[in-house]
Amino acid sequence: MTQKELGYVELEWTCKRCGTINPGMKRVCTNCGAPIGQDDKFELPDQQELIKDQEKLEEAKKGPSIQCPYCNVLNSADAKICIQCGGDIQEGLTRQAGEVLGAYKADTVPDKPCPFCNQPVKANAQRCPNCGGSLVETAKPTATQSKAQKTPIWLIVAGIALGVLCIASIITFIVLNNRTNDVTARVADRSWQLSIEILEKQPVQKSNWSEDVPSDAQDVSCEDKYKETSSEPAPNSVEVCGTPYTVDQGSGAGMVVQDCEYQIYASYCDYTVLDWAVVDTVVAQGRDNNPVWPVITLQSGQQEGDRNEQYHVTFAADGETYTYTPDDLSEYSQFDTGSEWILSINTFGEIKEMQSK
Ligand SMILES: [Zn+2]
Ligand SMILES: [Zn+2]
Ligand SMILES: [Zn+2]
């Protein structure tokens, strides 16, 4: 993530002595003259405006203020002696900084009527410009936390019941799958099938990033497509930013920032290349004990592809038939037609074990 700086806003603080809400960069209360307490925090005002005044901006950027150890008044980060009492502030407390105070609200808060003369005044005005009445509010009530909702009991019961049902059906399946009974069966039929693929170079449609398209590709058509996300700015990318938020600078001002990432686009192409493709499959099959691979004749430009072997054995017992698929020729060759076997058959009619009789 790249953190983009959008500017600075002045925060506010509430005077503990008289309850007045003061602009963040006011060193003492506008009403009673008390300084901000060491534990009092700067907060986000409802009305947030990016600071445009150059001098104020310089002050905001200086970083955490230092609280005078003698009179508690805040001083600029680079101050040596207190602006209020002249005391040495080397030992003073540096204000906390870096806390995220909340989302930055760029929308202006609508004007509100003055409680004395009813004329509309700016939401953050300290004093009515019309009648001169004080518009300083007292501290805002803290928001009450909403309680997490409890999960209803019937939902818990239903969940447990569902879990029990699941386990029961798994156990039932395992039992039925493993419960077998032995039958004597005869090999009624068996068959083998051996096949070889014939390959030939054919035009094949493919897609890839343009740098990976082979040089002999034809009918290449490309368009930009999302490839990856970078945390740093990159060429041919779209910047995607989150909601701006304000970070306490400890100077009475907050820095408005935005976390951004960069969705990089690159050229992605469809193209045609010649590649080996299956054009034919030559098959040999039989029911005897001597499977042989089919004879293939390759034309020019052809080559042999995958070889594939399949074996099937059918058992008959008491009017039922059971099918078995041997893995390879050596297993297949044990099942002479007419030979007798003892099969362990499970509830689903599958052969679990077998033994020559
Ligand atoms: Zn005060
Ligand atoms: Zn001082
Ligand atoms: Zn007024």
pLDDT tens digits, 344-357:
988 888 888 888 88
Distance 144 CA to ligand 1 centre (A): 26
For position 141, what pLDDT does the model report? 45
pLDDT tens digits, 225-246:
999 999 998 999 999 999 999 9
- Of 2 and 213, the structure prediction assigns the larger pLDDT to 213
The residue written with tokens 């408005």 in the block is: 256
Distance 20 CA to ligand 1 centre (A): 5
Query: How many whole angstroms separate alpha carbon 243 and alpha carbon 249?
Result: 19
Distance 24 CA to ligand 1 centre (A): 13
For position 108, what pLDDT does the model report? 65
In the predicted model, what is the mean pLDDT of the chain? 90
List b or e across 180-207, with b for residues whose CB sees 16 or more CB atoms inside 10 angstroms: eeebebebeebebebbbbbbbeeeeeee
How many of the other CB atoms lie within 10 Å of CB of 225? 12
Structure confidence at residue 138 as a pLDDT band (50, 70, 90):
very low
249: nearest Cα among 145, 106, 98: 98
For position 123, what pLDDT does the model report? 73
Structure confidence at residue 137 as a pLDDT band (50, 70, 90):
low
DSSP 289-308: S---PPP--PPTTEEEEEEE
Specify whether the CB–CB gap between 221 and 270 falls below 8 A.
Answer: yes
How many of the other CB atoms lie within 10 Å of CB of 112? 13
- Of 315 and 145, the structure prediction assigns the larger pLDDT to 315
pLDDT tens digits, 57-109:
999 999 999 999 999 999 999 899 999 999 999 889 999 999 999 998 876 66
Vertex 64: Cα angle to 75 and 232 (nearest 5): 150
Query: Does the interface predicted TM-score (ipTM) exceed 0.90?
Result: no
Distance 25 CA to ligand 1 centre (A): 14
The residue written with tokens 């009492």 in the block is: 85
Query: How many whole angstroms separate alpha carbon 22 and alpha carbon 95?
Result: 17
Q: Which two tokens stand for residue 190?
A: 């068996």
Distance 84 CA to ligand 1 centre (A): 16
Q: Which residues surround ligand 2, an ion (CB under 5 A)?
A: 68, 70-71, 73, 82, 84-85, 87
Structure confidence at residue 47 as a pLDDT band (50, 70, 90):
confident
Structure confidence at residue 142 as a pLDDT band (50, 70, 90):
very low
Q: Which residues pair with 224 in a beta bridge?
A: 267
Q: Which two tokens stand for residue 225?
A: 């497509």
3-state secondary structure of 18: coil
129: nearest Cα among 115, 114, 108: 114
How many of the other CB atoms lie within 10 Å of CB of 351? 19
Torsions phi, psi of 329, nearest 5?
-65, -40
Determine what percent of the chain is predicted with pLDDT higher than 70.
95
pLDDT surpassing 60 at residue 147: no
DSSP 253-276: EEEEEEEEEEEEEEEEEEEEEEEE
Distance 74 CA to ligand 2 centre (A): 8
Distance 13 CA to ligand 1 centre (A): 10
pLDDT tens digits, 151-162:
788 999 999 999
Helices then strands, each counted (H, E), the chain: 3, 18
For position 86, what pLDDT does the model report? 94
Distance 86 CA to ligand 2 centre (A): 6
Distance 51 CA to ligand 3 centre (A): 26
Distance 35 CA to ligand 2 centre (A): 10
Q: Which two tokens stand for residue 22?
A: 């003061």
Distance 81 CA to ligand 2 centre (A): 8
For position 144, what pLDDT does the model report? 45
pLDDT surpassing 90 at residue 44: yes
Which secondary structure element, helix H or strand E, spans residue 331, and what is its range? helix 329-332
Distance 143 CA to ligand 3 centre (A): 29
